[in-house]
Amino acid sequence: MKLPLPRSLFARLMLIWLIGMALVLAVSLALFLGERERIGRSALFEGVAQEIASVADLLDNMSPPERERWIDDIGRRRLRLALRPPREHLRPLGDEHPLQAALRAAMPQRPTALYMHPRDDRPHPGLLIVLTLADGTPLQVRLPGIPPAPAIMLHRPGPFLAALAALALGVGLLTWIAVRIATRPLSRMADAARALGEDPTRPPIDIRGPTEVARAAIAFNQMQQRIAEHVAERTRILAAISHDLQTPITRLRLRAEQVEDEGLRGRIQSDLDAMQGLVKEGLAYARSLDERSPPQPIELGPLLHALGEDARDMGWAVRVPEDARGRINGSPSALRRALWNLVENGVKFGSAVDIALACTDEACEIRIRDHGPGLAEDELEKVFEPFYRTEASRNRETGGTGLGLAITRNLLHAQGGEVALRNHPEGGLEAVVRLRAR
């Protein structure tokens, strides 16, 4: 059964913070109690060792008959003494036991051995210490009330370090969860905002999550819907205007044929041709805003060679390397139109055009360079704006409507691509097209 979480992000973070604080306090309390018990046991073992050393010294100064008479009274308080070697098979305890270190410190010249005594009336087996008196008499000292196992565990630094590691790991994990909860919705919305620039008609983002995230997601989806409607409306208006202008242009062209003055008729026809080109470019720009055909594999090498052959058929000097190879996913017709606009633009302003292709596992880069005068740095981005034309393109020879590069960028953006212009170090203008590899 899945426990319900608080709805708000604030409440969730507060809950994680409280759980973390409870964990820190619990582990700190456990460490404190363990350390206190360890110190208490160390003091106990030091006292026991000093008492055993005193008993051994006292027995050294007694004769054997006196030892037998006083042995029971000497160890009555908490020691069980016996003047004989151990009979049963006992399991020795290693040197890591803290009592062993205390015995060596109290009796550095007297050999001692520490065992676990299994025969004891108490719930836990006791400890048995075997040592030798000055005359060689064995002495057994049994400690029935001190269990051996906890002392060994608390004596080692391993449990303490393990508890600290668990505390650090737990706090780190809770911190990661809190940061993840706080940043994951933001990352999701950032990805959605980035994708919105490529496709305003993409599916809306999920509105599930904390209250603050759900409200932000709902507002984002509403904004996306309004943007999509605005873009669609603008596209429809532009397409309608461009389409409806063709009819009066055709009528004007027919009427221009009736003008007797050839010079005037030629100028009118030239203006009508310019208007016709503007209408066609307007329609193409409107369609480029709504280009959303399904992607398919595209071999860039054959596509670029076909573009070069078409350009050479028109008398243009366009060079494509023979070893051009690369593969992407996209719309072949849209990509061909975008690249053709760049080639045509390069031929128009720079005569010869060189095309280069370089691909990696992540992306393919197409560079289209002309040998013209280039552009001013402040115009390298402005030329992508609709209807923007540089001074060099305002004459009748170069012409242009100012929509070619805008159409190119729209077509490439629809495929997840990018295009930028830069002045080549060796002269001329270079268009760099970057497309995601398949």
Domain match, 404 and 318 both: yes
Task: Tell me which range, 4-8, 42-46, 84-88, 196-200, is most confidently predicted by mean pLDDT.
Answer: 42-46
Task: Select the more confidently predicted residue: 267 or 39.
Answer: 267
pLDDT of residue 197: 64
Number of Cβ atoms within 10 Å of the Cβ of 127: 24
Domain match, 234 and 343 both: no
416-429 pLDDT tens trace: 889 999 999 888 89
Q: Assess if residue 389 is contained within a domain.
A: yes
Q: Assess if residue 180 is contained within a domain.
A: no
Domain match, 60 and 35 both: yes
Q: Coil, strand, or helix at residue 151?
A: helix
Residue finishing a domain among 263, 290, 317: 290
| Strand stretches in 54-163, DSSP E | 80-82, 91-92, 112-117, 126-132, 138-143
283-302 pLDDT tens trace: 776 666 666 667 788 899 99
Q: What burial class does residue 186 get, using C-beta atoms within 10 Å of its C-beta: 0-12 exposed, 13-18 middle, 19+ buried?
A: exposed
CATH number assigned to the domain comprising residue 282? 1.10.287.130
Q: How confident is the model at residue 9 (pLDDT cuts 50, 70, 90)?
A: low
**Separation between Cα atoms, residue 269 and residue 255, nearest integer Å:** 10
Domain match, 276 and 319 both: no
Q: Assess if residue 164 is contained within a domain.
A: no
**Separation between Cα atoms, residue 186 and residue 219, nearest integer Å:** 14
Residue finishing a domain among 239, 257, 290: 290
pLDDT of residue 185: 74
pLDDT of residue 155: 46
Residue finishing a domain among 271, 290, 309: 290
Q: Assess if residue 56 is contained within a domain.
A: yes
pLDDT of residue 6: 65
Domain match, 301 and 285 both: no
Flag whether pLDDT at 233 surpasses 70.
yes
CATH number assigned to the domain comprising residue 368? 3.30.565.10
Residue 375: which domain range?
293-436
User: Degrees (nearest 5) of the Cα angle 273, 275, 279?
Assistant: 115
Domain match, 332 and 397 both: yes
Mean pLDDT across 33-52: 78
Domain match, 323 and 429 both: yes
pLDDT of residue 184: 74
pLDDT of residue 198: 63
Domain match, 63 and 151 both: yes
Q: Assess if residue 182 is contained within a domain.
A: no
pLDDT of residue 392: 54
Dihedral sign for Cα atoms in the order 87, 88, 91, 93: negative
pLDDT of residue 324: 85
Q: Assess if residue 365 is contained within a domain.
A: yes
Tokens 């950032």 locate to: 190
pLDDT of residue 412: 87
**Separation between Cα atoms, residue 233 and residue 280, nearest integer Å:** 19
Domain match, 117 and 48 both: yes
Number of domains in the chain: 3
What is the share, in percent, of the chain residues with pLDDT greater than 70?
Answer: 79
Domain match, 121 and 15 both: yes
Domain match, 413 and 339 both: yes
Q: What is the residue-averaged pLDDT of the chain?
A: 78
125-184 pLDDT tens trace: 678 888 888 888 888 888 876 655 444 444 455 666 676 677 777 777 777 777 777 667
Phi, psi of 84 (to 5 degrees): -160, 155
pTM above 0.85, yes or no: no
Residue 91 neighbours by CB under 8 Å, 6+ apart = 115, 116
Q: Assess if residue 2 is contained within a domain.
A: no
Q: Assess if residue 315 is contained within a domain.
A: yes
Domain match, 399 and 341 both: yes
73-121 pLDDT tens trace: 776 666 778 888 876 667 777 666 777 888 888 888 888 888 776 654 4
Mean pLDDT across 382-393: 74
301-358 pLDDT tens trace: 999 999 999 999 889 999 999 888 888 888 888 889 899 989 998 998 888 899 999 9
| Strand stretches in 137-232, DSSP E | 138-143
